[in-house]
C-alpha cells in the first residue's frame, strides 16, 4: 500500500503509529523529486547516521531532519516491487522505486535518471486518480517505454511475462480444487445406491472430474516450467502441487486395475487436501512462488532428476499412508464386513505402492548423493534431509522384508504404511525447519504445530490396528482349539471302534 507513497502528497496509506503527525503534515508540503535534486550526496551509512543523530535547535535543522526521515520512509516503503530495468546494461537486477530513490540519493550523476523515474510514477498516480481509460493509457505508455529499454539490451528479459499473466488469469490450481471437490461430492452420492446403474454413471462422472482436475493441475505446473525454464520443482510450493498431481495419477492407475472404488476415493481425498494446502500455503507465505533459486539448487539437470524423482517417492509414500488408513479405519468400523476379497485387494494395492515408493526413493537418494558430491565435495554427510530420505528407504525395506519373512501380514503392512507417511512428512517439511544442515532453504513458520497434529492423527489411525490384531489372534486361537478338539473327538471315536 505504501509503494508509491512519495507521489501521494498528504495521502500516506499507513497507520498513524508508522508515520507521525508531524511527518504527515510535512508530506503534504514537500515534493520528494525536488527534494532529491537539492540534497547532497549521501551513502546509506551517512543517511542512517544523520537520521539517528539528534535534531538541531533551529527550525531549518528540524525541517531538514524531518525531510530526510520522510524521504527514507518513502524509499524504504517502495522497495520490493521491481518494475524498472536497471540503468546499467551490465546489471541484471531490476529495481523498485525505492531502489531508484536511494540510488539517486547516493549519486548525483544518477539523479536525472532517478528523478525521471519518480516523475513517471507521479504521472501514473495522477492518471489513476482520474478514470480507467486515462490510467490505462498512462500505464501503456509506461510499459512501452521500458519494454523498448529492455529490448535494446537483447537479453530476452520479460519474454515470458505474458505466460505468467495467463497463469494467474487462468487460476488453474483453484479450478483444480473445485473439480476435485465436485468429484468427491459425486462419489459420496454414488454410495447412496451401490451396485445400480445410477451409481455406475456417477462413478464415471467422478473419473471425469478427477481427470479434469488433474489436467488443470498439470497445465499449471507445465506453465510454471515454461515461464522459468526450470523442471517442475524448485521450492516447497512446487512440491505441494507436484506431489498432489502424482498421487492422484497413481490413484487413478490403481483404480483402473482394481475397480473397487478405493482409488477414486483416495484420489479425490488427496486432490482436495493437496490443492487446498497449496492455496493456503501461497496465501500464508505471501511471497513470489517463482522467486530466484537458492544457489545450491541452481542446476536444471539435478532438479530434473534427483528432486523430481525423490518427490515422486514422497507422493507414493503419502498415497501408501492414505491407503493404509482406509484399510485400518474401514475394517475397524465394519465397512464391507466379511468381504475378504476387498481388503485383500486393498492390501495388494498398498504393497505395490510401497514397492513403487522404495524404487523412486532409493534412486532419488543415490542421485542426491551424487549431486552432493559435485556441489559439496562429499557423497553423504548425515545431513537431516539426507537422513530423512534414508529413513524412508529403510522403512519401506523393513515393511517388505517383514512381509517376506512372515513377521507382518495385512494389518502390519498397513500400520507400517501409515508410519511411512509420518516419515515422509518429516523429510518433506520437518527437516527444513530444524535450522541445521545444508537443506534449510524451505523454512516455514508454524509448520511444527501442523506436523504435530498430523502425526497425532496418524498415530491414532495406527492404533486402529491393535483391536484388529487382537481380534485376529483370538480368531486363530479359537480355530486351533476347534481343530484340536476335533482331533481328540476323532481319536476317541477310533478307540471306541477298536474296542
Q: What is the pLDDT of residue 21?
A: 65
- Angle between helix 340-376 and 410-425 (nearest 10): 30
Report d(CA 69, CA 154) in Å as an integer.
Answer: 39
Please name the residues in contact with 124: beta carbons below 8 A apart, sequence gap of 6 or more: 4, 7, 135, 138, 139, 142
Could you tell me the pLDDT band of residue 350, with boundaries at 50, 70 and 90?
Answer: very high
d(CA 431, CA 236): 12
Write 228-232 long-range contacts (CB < 8 A, 24+): 228/290, 229/300, 230/293, 230/300, 230/303, 231/300, 231/303, 231/304, 231/307, 231/308, 232/308
pLDDT at 12 over 60: no
| Among the ranges given (63-77, 132-146, 314-328, 399-413), the one the predictor scored with the smallest mean pLDDT | 63-77
Question: Residue 491's pLDDT is what?
Answer: 63
Give the mean pLDDT of 51-61.
66
Mean per-residue pLDDT, 415-436:
89
How confident is the model at residue 486, as a pLDDT? 66
Q: Which helix (H) or strand (E) element contains residue 168?
A: helix 161-170
d(CA 95, CA 150): 13
Distance of CA 498 to the CA centre of its chain: 79
Q: For residues 332 and 202, what is the distance between their CA atoms, to the nearest angstrom?
A: 27
108 band by pLDDT with thresholds 50, 70 and 90: confident
Contact 309, 367 (CB under 8 A): yes
Residue 485: its pLDDT value, please? Answer: 73
Cβ atoms < 10 Å from Cβ of 276: 16
Cα(360)–Cα(403) distance, integer angstroms: 20
Please identify which residue in the block is written with the cell numbers 482520474. Answer: 130
CA 265, distance to chain mean position in Å, is 23
Which residue in 254, 239, 248 sits closest to 353, CA to CA? 254
User: Going by C-beta distance under 8 Å and a sequence separation of 6 or more, which residues neighbour residue 342?
Assistant: 260, 336
On average, the pLDDT of the chain sits at 86
| Residue 84 bridge partners (DSSP) | 95
Least confident of 70-79, 173-182, 305-314, 438-447: 438-447
Give percent above pLDDT 70 in the chain: 87
Burial class (CB in 10 A: 0-12, 13-18, 19+), 340: exposed
Q: What is the pTM of this model?
A: 0.79
Across 121-135, 145-159, 382-396, least confident range: 145-159
- Please state, in angstroms and rounded to a whole number, the distance separating the CA atoms of residues 370 and 377: 9
**Other beta carbons less than 10 A from residue 428's beta carbon:** 23
For the stretch 186-214, pLDDT in tens is 999 999 888 888 889 999 999 999 999 99
DSSP H/E element including 126: helix 111-128
Contact between 179 and 214 (Cβ < 8 Å): no
**Where do we find the cell 492390501?**
347
The answer on pLDDT for 63 being more than 80 is: no
Q: In Å, how far from its chain's centre is CA 195?
A: 39
Domain boundaries, the chain: 5-153, 161-469
Question: How buried is 481 (Cβ within 10 angstroms: 0-12 exposed, 13-18 middle, 19+ buried)?
Answer: exposed
Cα 36 to Cα 102: distance, rounded to the nearest angstrom: 10
**Mean local confidence (pLDDT), 276-283:** 91
Residue 109 binned pLDDT confidence (cut-offs 50, 70, 90): confident
- Given this model, what pLDDT does residue 437 score? 64
Of the candidates 357, 429, 427, which has an alpha carbon nearest to the alpha carbon of residue 385? 427
Instruction: Give the angle 35-48-286 at the CA atoms, nearest 5°.
Output: 90
| β-sheet bridge partners, residue 95 | 84
Collapsing DSSP to helix, strand or coil, 109 comes out as helix
Question: Given the C-alpha cell 496418524, which residue does it identify?
Answer: 458
Please check whether residue 101 is in contact with residue 32, taking contact to mean a CB–CB distance below 8 angstroms: yes
- Mean pLDDT to the nearest integer, 337-361: 94
Amino acid at each position: 500500500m505504501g509503494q508509491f507513497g512519495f507521489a501521494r502528497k498528504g495521502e500516506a496509506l499507513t497507520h498513524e503509529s508508522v508515520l507521525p503527525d508531524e511527518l504527515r503534515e510535512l508530506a503534504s508540503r514537500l515534493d520528494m523529486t525536488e527534494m532529491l535534486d537539492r540534497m547532497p550526496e549521501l551513502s546509506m551509512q551517512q543517511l542512517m547516521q544523520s537520521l539517528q543523530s539528534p535534531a538541531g535547535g533551529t527550525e531549518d535543522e528540524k525541517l531538514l531532519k524531518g525531510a530526510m526521515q520522510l524521504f527514507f520512509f518513502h524509499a524504504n516503503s517502495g522497495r520490493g516491487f521491481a518494475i524498472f530495468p536497471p540503468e546499467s546494461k551490465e546489471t541484471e537486477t531490476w529495481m523498485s522505486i525505492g531502489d531508484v530513490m536511494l540510488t539517486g540519493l547516493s549519486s548525483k550523476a544518477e539523479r536525472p535518471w532517478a528523478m525521471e523515474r519518480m516523475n513517471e510514477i507521479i504521472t501514473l498516480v495522477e492518471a489513476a486518480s482520474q478514470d480507467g481509460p486515462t490510467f490505462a493509457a498512462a500505464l501503456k505508455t509506461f510499459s512501452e517505454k521500458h519494454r523498448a529499454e529492455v529490448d535494446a539490451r537483447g537479453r530476452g528479459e520479460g519474454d515470458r511475462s505474458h505466460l505468467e499473466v495467463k497463469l494467474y488469469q487462468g487460476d488453474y490450481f483453484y479450478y483444480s480444487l473445485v473439480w476435485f471437490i465436485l468429484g468427491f461430492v459425486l462419489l459420496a452420492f454414488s454410495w447412496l445406491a451401490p451396485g445400480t446403474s445410477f451409481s455406475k454413471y456417477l462413478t464415471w462422472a467422478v473419473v471425469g472430474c478427477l481427470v479434469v482436475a488433474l489436467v488443470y493441475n498439470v497445465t499449471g505446473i507445465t506453465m510454471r516450467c515454461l515461464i522459468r525454464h526450470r523442471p517442475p520443482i524448485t521450492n516447497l510450493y512446487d512440491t505441494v502441487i507436484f506431489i498432489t498431481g502424482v498421487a492422484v495419477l497413481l490413484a487413478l492407475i490403481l483404480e483402473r486395475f482394481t475397480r473397487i472404488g478405493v482409488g477414486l476415493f483416495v484420489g479425490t481425498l488427496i486432490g482436495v487436501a493437496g490443492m487446498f494446502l497449496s492455496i493456503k500455503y501461497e496465501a500464508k507465505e505471501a511471497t513470489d512462488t517463482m522467486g530466484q533459486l537458492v544457489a545450491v539448487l541452481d542446476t536444471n539437470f539435478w532438479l530434473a532428476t534427483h528432486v523430481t524423482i525423490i518427490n515422486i517417492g514422497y507422493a507414493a509414500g503419502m498415497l501408501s499412508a492414505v491407503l493404509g488408513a482406509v484399510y485400518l479405519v474401514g475394517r475397524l468400523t465394519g465397512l464391507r464386513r466379511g468381504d475378504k476379497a476387498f481388503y485383500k485387494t486393498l492390501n495388494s494395492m498398498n504393497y505395490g505402492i510401497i514397492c513403487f515408493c522404495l524404487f523412486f526413493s532409493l534412486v532419488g537418494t543415490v542421485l542426491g548423493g551424487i549431486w552432493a558430491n559435485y556441489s559439496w565435495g562429499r557423497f553423504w554427510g548425515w545431513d537431516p534431509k539426507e537422513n530423512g530420505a534414508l529413513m524412508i528407504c529403510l522403512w519401506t525395506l523393513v515393511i517388505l522384508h517383514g512381509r517376506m519373512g512372515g513377521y507382518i501380514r495385512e494389518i502390519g503392512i498397513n500400520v507400517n504404511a501409515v508410519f511411512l507417511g509420518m516419515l515422509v512428512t518429516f523429510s518433506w517439511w520437518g527437516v527444513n525447519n530444524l535450522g541445521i544442515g545444508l537443506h534449510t532453504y524451505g523454512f516455514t513458520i508454524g509448520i511444527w504445530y501442523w506436523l504435530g497434529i498430523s502425526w497425532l492423527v496418524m498415530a491414532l489411525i495406527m492404533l486402529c490396528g491393535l483391536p484388529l490384531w487382537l481380534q485376529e489372534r483370538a480368531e486363530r486361537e479359537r480355530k486351533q482349539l476347534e481343530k484340536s478338539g476335533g482331533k481328540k473327538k476323532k481319536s476317541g471315536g477310533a478307540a471306541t471302534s477298536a474296542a
